[in-house]
Chains A and B, each alone.
Chain A
Amino acid sequence: MTRVRTFALAALAATLSLPSAEAAAVVGQPAPEFSVPDPTGATHSLTAYKGKFVVLEWVNFECPFVGKHYGSGHMQKLQKDYTGKGVVWLSINSSATGKQGYYASDKVSALVKQKGAAPSAYLLDTAGSVGRAYGARTTPHMFIIDPKGTLIYAGGIDDTPSTDQADIATAKNFVSKALDEALAGKPVTTTTSQAYGCSVKY
């Protein structure tokens, strides 16, 4: 990590004048195409899911914010509920090789199973290219794509930034609300929110 102290703003400016502002996926625009492998080596591309709602969930099982949503069984329930309604749920791990949350592909499937996770697929974005194309900055960071391939939600999983499972009951879940609205053919009320979590370990 590059640490920049604010009493050295000149150095900061030098850092920030480098090419920055990673592209972020834009709500209302076509979602960036991608093609990445799952742990078995099978490739998943976004175009293959055209005609379906697709959820992208950035995940790192070692992050306490992710632990909040998996430790409570909340994330697994969302995955089961919505894949049961025909939604494609893709969990994406953008941890670089050797960084926190990275696992060799032969170990991932067992870990996903141990977690009771139920995504349509768990994808390995070790190069971080999908994460950077979408502007994924945290785990979790959530995106929803409609059947035409348009991004309809980008942001946090809910409105309560914390690592405390007890907060889930009272939090307003942006993802389930957006999916419920979209599946009912209604416009999405909240199309973006501040994502909260650990940094993605690019």
Chain B
Amino acid sequence: MRDPGPSARLYLRTAAAVCAFASSVAAAPPASRHVQPELVADVESIAPGRPFQAGLRLRMDPEWHTYWKNPGDSGLATRLLWKLPEGFQAGPIEWPYPEVFKQGPVTSYGYTHEVLLPVTITPPATLAAGTSVTLAARADWLECREACLPGRRELSLVLPVRGEAARASAQSAPAFAAARARLPQAGAGWAIEARETKERVVLVVRPPRGQAEIRQAYFFPDRGQLIDHAAAQTWTRAASGGGYRLEMTPAPNVARPLGSLEGVLVAEGSSGATAIRVEAKSAKEKP
């Protein structure tokens, strides 16, 4: 017989949470409690027509996380909805490669502690020096530990416009540097092919000449319905051709062949991790 005390307490807490949620969805979304969002820029001032980067910085409480563009089996990608002055253009979020979270049979991709999601902003060439501009955005994210809470915040950032070249922001430089270090590179010199067998999806990887040995690698697919996020990925030296093979399992019930694989390959060698952009049409692998 289960002790009714904790169960009853759990139920009361649960009922309260359910009621709080039910009433909050009718009005504003529930307030985030574990993530501090902030808009930052990599410059202290901007110049007409000169692109710069702004970004959403999320500072998460210990044990809490937010999600990558493909959240994996569970979760939700962070979103930014810009409200920019006339003539400004915002690019897409440039996603630093994520961490892997495993919770039983569920594998998800996201960030802990702190992440900066950079976006390139292009001001109009007609911008008048001596003024200032307000960049505003609505950020939506899902924060989870074991439980999840949706977060939403209206954010803004005021930047002066100067005639001379934009001045880099020393204050935000470390956060931008950390984010850029985890951005996938176009992969010059890397030959990456995708192959499919009945049971497996394979990346055949030939690093550039002179690349130190790659001990391990992991492939983060751009979206669901490509590979099984939770299944093992096996990195081995190819029997021939001097490269490596990363063997993965296709997503459950997905239509085959996939036809192509898009995502980020993170390869770890003695000199650290390298993130390579993968966009490969897949070929049938001969047995």
Contacts and interface: CB of A to CB of B under 8 A. Distances in A.
B252 A7 contact: no
Given A10-B215, A21-B231, A21-B232, A64 B21 contact: yes
B42 interface: no
Nearest to A10: B216
A6 interface: yes
Nearest to B107: A137
Contacts of A10: 215-216, 268
State the majority secondary structure of interface residues on A: loop
Contacts of A5: 99-100
Nearest to B100: A4
A66 to B, nearest CB: 10
Interface stretch (B8-16, B49-57, B162-170, B204-212): B8-16
Interface string A1-13: 1111111011011
| Interface residues on chain A, size class | 35 or more
B147 A100 contact: yes
B230 interface: yes
Contacts of A128: 104
State the majority secondary structure of interface residues on B: mixed
Contacts of A72: 25
B2 A104 contact: yes
Interface string A138-159: 1000000000000000110000
Contacts of A99: 146
B232 A107 contact: no
B233 interface: yes
A68 B25 CA distance: 8
Given A10-B268, A71-B26, A161-B77, 13 more contacts: A1-B103, A6-B266, A16-B232, A24-B252, A27-B253, A99-B146, A103-B7, A137-B106, A137-B230, A192-B254, A194-B224, A196-B76, A202-B104
